[in-house]
Amino acid sequence: MDKQFADRRYKVQSARTYFYLNEAQCERNLEVFQECLEAVSGATFGTGITAVKLTALGRPQLLLQLSEVIMRTRKYMTEVLGGEGNVLTHHVKLEELERKFLQAGLEEETVKKFLKQLTYDKEGVIHLFPWSGIVDENQQLSDTFRVPDLKTGRMVRLITQLTPKEEEMFRNMIRLSELISIVKTANDLDVRVMIDAEQTYFQPAISRITLEMMRKFNKEKAVVFNTYQCYLKNTYEEATTDLEQAKRQNFYFGAKLVRGAYLEQERARAAAMGYSDPTNPTFEATTEMYHRTLTECLRRIKDLKDRNMDARRIAIMVASHNEDTVRFALEKMKDIGILPEDKVICFGQLLGMCDYITFPLGQSGYSAYKYIPYGPINEVLPYLSRRAQENKGVLQKIRKEKQLLLRELRRRIFSGQIFYRPKGNYVPVNREADNFFICETFVMT
């Protein structure tokens, strides 16, 4: 990683992005997350959500290495098959790969051994590496991440040779016993877990691990959610690829759609290191990406309904303070035929922001959540300042919110309804739970 960007707070208005400290701190972070899960469970009776930051549970450098392996794998598949994208999108058959490898001069025994570790179904190869085995079993990672080189006819590593200590640390990271412990606890307490998105150089690894957690735990409902940052140019492709994997491997898919948190940092890093800017050029392009990705999710949910399948196999949180995006989501749900009572789409805003959006949603029967920062004041306040920085448009709407409050206050005074409590058609999932919460936990990373 370039030293200029080793401090992940660079151009980020937050104190949540401390660099990695040590394994002991990760253990303490685990305890904090567990406490947060218990608090959410006790307050929401089966409707709550906790957000988890993966870099708080392990060494970020190892996530960086794993991300590089994933990106090298995609580049490798482009060289082997041509075209762009994840191996899953190529729908390549084992026979085709075997033919290419044998033509390149690889030994038949070597080819068969490599093909044996692939994850595939009748539509083709899903993964080049046995991710389920890597997460669940005691495999040597340096030997696992090897592929046939078509130029030399030999097996080559996609990851540098690891020392025994690095192998152990990498295994702990990729298997994330801490994350598994968190998700198991969440599942037992009927709380969902949303894995935060982070910088692009970490995100391939974070998404890969999150998808494996989905495969492991999302068998009867969406417990684990991945986060998709729509300010990135590849968000739609990433989301549709993950949706396809969930369909082919038969697990429930959960996603939180956000605009994104690291725009300035991503652009600065791309300029400094000389690679293509991964972010959308304008706010309008980001909005278009958000709406396009959401529409695809809604279309797939409707397809499940039309085939009399469980529509909850896809669960989406529209995490946005933007009125136009929320309005778009509501109109698109109506057009496509997805009802509030289907409980497959929910909305989320920060506590204290855009109440005039959240409350009417809840009163109209939609699942509406408030994102509650949880942690030491010195870490919560900088986080909120970043959210304010991200949502400059929201700050400009404070005047509107004040006007709405004053209008309602005058209405209550002149109508004699000082203690008026509006009632909507909202029916909670659990009648004891009238409020939905997301707990954002602040920990040292």
Question: Which tokens in the block code for residue 226?
Answer: 């991945």
> Residue 58: its pLDDT value, please?
76
Full DSSP string of 281-343? SSHHHHHHHHHHHHHHHHHHHHHHHHTTS-GGGEEEEEE---HHHHHHHHHHHHHHT--GGG-
Strand-pairing partners, residue 166, are none
> Residue 15: its pLDDT value, please?
37
CA–CA dist 117, 245 (Å, integer): 17
CA–CA dist 200, 206 (Å, integer): 10
Using alpha carbons, list the distances in angstroms from residue 343 to 120, 304, 370.
Answer: 32, 14, 17
Residue whose tokens read 């994104």: 260
CATH number of the domain located at residue range(s) 16-58+176-419+430-441 in this protein? 3.20.20.220
pTM, 2 dp? 0.86
What would the pLDDT profile of 211-252 be if each residue is shown by its tens digit?
Answer: 999 999 999 999 999 999 999 999 999 999 999 999 999 999
> Residue 427: its pLDDT value, please?
46
Contact 73, 113 (CB under 8 A): no
> Residue 432: its pLDDT value, please?
38
What would the pLDDT profile of 195-216 be if each residue is shown by its tens digit?
Answer: 999 999 999 999 999 999 999 9
For range 334-357, the mean pLDDT: 91
Domain boundaries, the chain: 16-58+176-419+430-441, 69-166
Please report which confidence band the pLDDT of residue 130 belongs to, taking 50, 70 and 90 as the band edges. confident
N-term to C-term CA, the chain: 17
pLDDT above 50 for 347: yes
Nearest residue to 142 via CA among 154, 127, 129:
129
> Residue 445: its pLDDT value, please?
40
> Residue 431: its pLDDT value, please?
37
Instruction: Spell out the long-range contacts of 356-364 with Cβ–Cβ below 8 A and sequence spacing 24 or more.
Output: 356/400, 356/401, 356/404, 357/321, 357/323, 357/326, 360/424, 361/326, 362/424, 362/426, 362/436, 363/422, 363/423, 363/424, 363/425, 363/426, 364/340, 364/424, 364/425, 364/426
